[in-house]
Chains A and B, each alone.
Chain A
Amino acid sequence: MHKLFRPVVGIIILVAAGLIAAAVAFPFAARQIPSADPQLPSLSSHPQPGPAVSSSSTAPAITWSVPQFSATLFPGTSTTTTITFRSGQPLGSTTVDVTPSLSGLVAVAPTSFSKINANQDYTLTLTLAAPQGFQKRSFGGTIHIRNAATPPKTYDTPLPVNLQTDWNTLADASSGLTFALPLLGVSPVVQDVGSTSDSAFVIDVQVPNPSDGTVHSLLRILALPNASNLDIQQWFEQNIDDSNGTLLSSGAFQLRHLPNGPAMVSVGPFPDGYQGAPVAQAYLLSQTGDLVYTIKQSQDLQLTDFGYPPSAAAGVLTSILGSVR
């Protein structure tokens, strides 16, 4: 090769290498674009235009899609949501931390980034879990971005997080039963139809449909007889499971101890060859032992109409049953 061409070839190689590197990096960068996951109505993220917080003049400015994150959850349930952040400067390897005060309540993913490009959105998925106990509580803390190297340094500014547990307590005057219901943003009504075939009483929880205001059934709590005072697993086997015992043997229903007593709870997986009738989410032995409480969603209006993802319903229903007194 002529000496004159050698620098030109070197430049071409460098440019080509740069293009290849960009092509490889682009798909990964594209994945950082935030998704549009639906959020529960009880989640509050206070959006505002422009950067939510500003950093000090020396540290990179981390800005969040929300100035603070708040969520109100029904006890014993969990949900996921997403937020985004961006940095005003490129950063090297970083980690995402949650303060210990939120340990076990808020989990974040991913927990680290190999590098952060300047002025690009990065998505974090938050998994929120509320403790089971029916005690109204508030949990505070922050999510912060820091460098992965030592000494650790938190970039301004952390995201304040507040998690609360809250609910409505409903009472059925006829049976004397009380139970908790998630805050739905509407006023629920309790109706007791009394005894039906094979049930001591059936309670209907009705709420206005958020789309048109008409009142619909949301869920029903049934009291089923247990005249022989069987334990809950025996009762379930004799009254609910099919002739092959599919639900128990497959593990689709398992014994759980709810705050108010033992229960058979639907936990999956889907049972092969099940031959029985439709089932409820859970079956709870009453404290007197002569009744079994169970709970079902309506076919007309469900928790999904109030922003809950379908996967959250099982936890909510089990928690409601766990609050029955």
Chain B
Amino acid sequence: MEIRVPLMRRMYMAVCAYVLFGPAGYGAIAPPCGKTLAVYKGVAVKSNDKYQWGLNGGGSCGGRGDFGLQFQCVEYVKRFYYEALGITRALNWTGNAEDFFFSADKDQVNPFGQVVNNKGLLAFSNGNATPPEPDDMLVFGSTDKLGHIAIITSVTASEVTFVEQNWSITGTSTLPLSVSTTGYKIHDRVSTSHSGQTHLYTVLGWLRDPDRQQSCPPSFTDDFNRLDGPVGNGWTNTTGNTDGDLVISNGALAGTPGRAAIYRPVDLSSLVTASATITQENGFGGSGRYVGFLFGNNGSVLSGYGVFFGRDPQNTGELLVELILNGTQLLASSAATPDSFQFGPSITVSVTFAPDGSITGSVIGNGVVFTFDLGVVSRASLPGSNIAVYTQGAADGGSNPVVDNVTISHFCNIVPE
């Protein structure tokens, strides 16, 4: 027997059912095909309807569009790079998500013998010294070697957040990020089965357009927030320290009355920038006090090209920036130092040492920025391949320099794999 329900009553029943139980069936969680789940830089992440997560045959609810199968993960990254970043070659990119990583900068025959075209991108393996950045593609590998791909939207010291199609129902997800002395490692995507077995989507790394303007986040940082004592964390005290070694004291690098330095290996074949915060009682003053960086240091206290910061006259004068080679002053910038530069309780110094030997930098203190350019120096005489942090303390018995928050950065686009 057919049961017929008047239209108004059917509508009323439908509304009541929705209020009581919410939407039912596939629509309960997976929004309709093509519905926006999230938006990043104006490009919508869309629902793959009942095929989300590979269910129901892992199809593509929107069929084939300009950027491929709608709405697979690959379709979004191609559409994002085209629409948000203006990279028109994205239209022609081929392959599954995992293929993108291995064909980043060359045509690649994948393990199945299929030729996947060159994406013209820089690839950074997970754990690379170059950190992931917003707009990078985040590529995952999987057992089936199809993989997964997403777009990074933000990076903090401990997390990477990204947008993605055909996985998270919100179109966004976050993974932990570990930072070590060797690089940045995004944690694999792990799901735990009912019995506790783990299922992995391994983070292969991140991809970046080489022409994109980028910041240069540090490849190494040290805030010295460790227990008082030896410096550690990859640093070694130089030989020839005159009044003992540098140590950690109260979460910072404590200088000595005399000359002392710590060093660590650094890649000087590319542009490298070192920066630090320097503090001292009564401002940065006193007799013969300096802090600086030594590029090409060989493990002895004054070797290499040193860029030192002090003041001239020593106790009350203007900022002094000196270029030192193996302990001998080559240049001093005091003449260029503006009279208005006044030391506050601390200064932040930054020095960039380029492959051609040029040295530039800045000093920020008391709300004023002072920049300097020491020109080109020869690279032929670099005595070593380290970078050193140098301090020269209070010969007059006063307080010694304190160094904190050392960072070392390389030019972002120089170290792709």
> Chain A residues in contact with chain B, CB under 8 A?
191, 193, 196-199, 202, 204, 206, 214-217, 220, 222, 224, 237-245, 248, 252, 266, 268-281, 296-305, 310-317
> Chain B residues in contact with chain A, CB under 8 A?
25-26, 28-30, 50-61, 63-64, 68-69, 72-74, 94-97, 111-115, 142-146, 148, 166-167, 189, 191-197, 199-202
In-complex Cβ contact of B74 among A241, A300, A312 (8 A): A300
A240 to B192, CA, bound (A): 9
Considering the complex of A and B, which 10 residue pairs feature the smallest CB-CB distances, nearest first? A313-B57, A314-B57, A204-B112, A310-B59, A238-B195, A278-B54, A191-B112, A313-B59, A276-B191, A193-B111
Contacts of A303 in B (CB 8 A): 57, 59
Q: Assess whether A240 is in contact with B199, with CB atoms less than 8 Å apart.
A: yes
In-complex Cβ contact of A300 among B68, B142, B148, B202 (8 A): B68
- The residue among B73, B145, B192, B197 with the most chain A CB atoms within 10 A of its own CB is B145
Q: Assess whether B55 is in contact with A279, with CB atoms less than 8 Å apart.
A: yes
A304 to B65, CA, bound (A): 12
A317 to B29, CA, bound (A): 24
- Which residue of the partner chain B has the closest CB to A248? B194
Q: A299-B96, A304-B64 are in contact. Are A277 and B201 (CB under 8 A)?
A: yes
A272 to B201, CA, bound (A): 22
- Which residue of the partner chain B has the closest CB to A215? B114
Q: Assess whether A270 is in contact with B193, with CB atoms less than 8 Å apart.
A: no
Q: A239-B197, A276-B193 are in contact. Are A281 and B57 (CB under 8 A)?
A: yes
Taking the closest CB of chain B, its distance from the CB of A300, in whole angstroms, is 5
A204 to B116, CA, bound (A): 14
Q: Assess whether B194 is in contact with A241, with CB atoms less than 8 Å apart.
A: yes
- The residue among B25, B63, B97 with the most chain A CB atoms within 10 A of its own CB is B63
Q: Assess whether B114 is in contact with A296, with CB atoms less than 8 Å apart.
A: no
Q: Assess whether A266 is in contact with B199, with CB atoms less than 8 Å apart.
A: no
Q: Assess whether B54 is in contact with A268, with CB atoms less than 8 Å apart.
A: no
Taking the closest CB of chain B, its distance from the CB of A185, in whole angstroms, is 16
Contacts of B74 in A (CB 8 A): 299-300
Q: Assess whether B59 is in contact with A304, with CB atoms less than 8 Å apart.
A: yes
Instruction: Supply 10 further A-B pairs (C-beta < 8 A) apart from A196-B143, A270-B50.
Output: A204-B114, A222-B144, A237-B193, A266-B56, A268-B56, A271-B29, A277-B53, A277-B142, A278-B166, A317-B58
A215 to B114, CA, bound (A): 7
Contacts of B146 in A (CB 8 A): 220, 296, 298-299
Q: Assess whether A270 is in contact with B29, with CB atoms less than 8 Å apart.
A: yes
Q: Assess whether B58 is in contact with A296, with CB atoms less than 8 Å apart.
A: yes
Q: Assess whether A281 is in contact with B29, with CB atoms less than 8 Å apart.
A: no
Contacts of A217 in B (CB 8 A): 96, 112, 114
In-complex Cβ contact of A302 among B52, B59, B97, B191 (8 A): B59
Q: Assess whether A299 is in contact with B199, with CB atoms less than 8 Å apart.
A: no
In-complex Cβ contact of A297 among B50, B57, B64, B202 (8 A): B57
A216 to B95, CA, bound (A): 7
Contacts of A244 in B (CB 8 A): 194
- Which residue of the partner chain B has the closest CB to A298? B96
A-B contact pairs, 9 of them (CB 8 A): A206-B112, A224-B143, A238-B195, A268-B56, A270-B30, A276-B193, A280-B58, A298-B146, A299-B96
Q: A206-B112, A270-B26, A278-B166 are in contact. Are A317 and B57 (CB under 8 A)?
A: yes
- Which residue of the partner chain A has the closest CB to B165? A299
In-complex Cβ contact of A278 among B59, B148, B195 (8 A): B148
Contacts of A302 in B (CB 8 A): 59-60, 69
In-complex Cβ contact of B143 among A199, A279, A281, A312 (8 A): A199
Taking the closest CB of chain A, its distance from the CB of B219, in whole angstroms, is 29
Contacts of B97 in A (CB 8 A): 299
Contacts of A281 in B (CB 8 A): 54-58
- Which residue of the partner chain B has the closest CB to A304? B63
- Which residue of the partner chain B has the closest CB to A38? B63
Q: A197-B143, A237-B195, A238-B194 are in contact. Are A300 and B54 (CB under 8 A)?
A: no
Q: Assess whether A280 is in contact with B54, with CB atoms less than 8 Å apart.
A: yes
Taking the closest CB of chain A, its distance from the CB of B47, in whole angstroms, is 11
- Which residue of the partner chain A has the closest CB to B73? A299
Q: Assess whether A300 is in contact with B95, with CB atoms less than 8 Å apart.
A: yes
Contacts of A269 in B (CB 8 A): 25-26, 28
A279 to B144, CA, bound (A): 11
- The residue among B29, B69, B144 with the most chain A CB atoms within 10 A of its own CB is B144
Contacts of A312 in B (CB 8 A): 57
Q: A204-B112, A217-B114, A240-B193 are in contact. Are A272 and B60 (CB under 8 A)?
A: no
- Which residue of the partner chain B has the closest CB to A204? B112
Contacts of A310 in B (CB 8 A): 51, 57, 59-61, 63
A206 to B143, CA, bound (A): 18
Contacts of B145 in A (CB 8 A): 193, 196, 202, 220
